[in-house]
Copies of this chain bind each other. A is one copy, B any other.
Amino acid sequence: MIVFREKKEAHAWVLQQRKAGKTIGLVPTMGALHAGHHSLVTHSQQECDATIATIFVNPTQFGPGEDLAKYPQTLEADLEGLRNLGTDAVFVPASPTAMYLPDHSTYVTPPIVASSWEGVVRPHHFRGVATIVLKLFHLLPATTAFFGQKDYQQSAVIRAMVEEFDLDIEIRVCPIVRDPDGLAMSSRNRYLTAPERSCALAIPRALQQAAEAFFAGERRAVVLESKMYEELARGPVDGVDYAVIADAQTLQRQIVIERPAVALIAARVGSTRLIDNHLLSPKNRD
């Protein structure tokens, strides 16, 4: 596995692969890799001739008071994991200033789908996400990029940006990977104490109950949302930023579910903020 620390070299490698007629899968990450990230690499390997991952804790997607400073950094273990999977290359920018000059001022104003839910709680989050993803798409011009469904709204933002900016890259959104207890894998799970983790399990349970009611025929969003709030209170979680039924594409809130929808939750447990979701469309029964 080739580890690139310099933009130029990573860029040249991708161009070289493309010139040789290979398809390239890109797996952008912020490190602290878990089985969810690994599944993105595996999906990429199944679909593409070569796979490049990136590891970069992107400062512009963190707001003031968020966990940028304490975000887990496990570079050696991350590289070991990617190597074991047979990843072809990984790009690890040498420093934050390798990606953003001190006077950086050009950003993506993200699509409208960024303005609800996470966009309300974390006002500049998707501006930072869209900007770093666009930069990585330019630096590492892959044929396909792989993102996790766990960050559901993020994938909707990226899809819309790709469409509206005429980017020539396929976006694949891969299924959520869960621990055996049901908690969606997240780099932030390691912040949880054992009792906190037990409370956090209310999140996947709440989603599961909403899904069960939906598949049993309930179409009134408010009924499903009430079930989610009740389960979250039972956890108990320490705060709910939102627990809603939204249109699967626009993320606008649904009143009566008539199109593919998604149940979205963001909740706080101790000082940790967790997000999770569950698709509510006939083919996603699970």
Contact = CB atoms under 8 A, between A and B. Distances in A.
Interface stretch (A22-30, A35-43, A157-165, A270-278): A157-165
A12 to B, nearest CB: 10
> Contact size class for A?
20 to 34
A121 interface: no
A160 B110 contact: no
A112 B107 contact: no
Contacts of A163: 101
Contacts of A112: 103, 105
Contacts of A100: 164
A109 interface: yes
A224 B106 CA distance: 32
A106 B165 contact: yes
Contact of A105 (B111, B139, B168): B111
Nearest to A109: B107
B166 A139 contact: yes
Interface of A: 7, 11, 100-101, 103-112, 127, 130, 134-135, 138-139, 141, 160-161, 163-168
A-B CB proximity, top 7 nearest? A106-B164, A105-B112, A107-B109, A106-B111, A138-B166, A105-B111, A139-B166
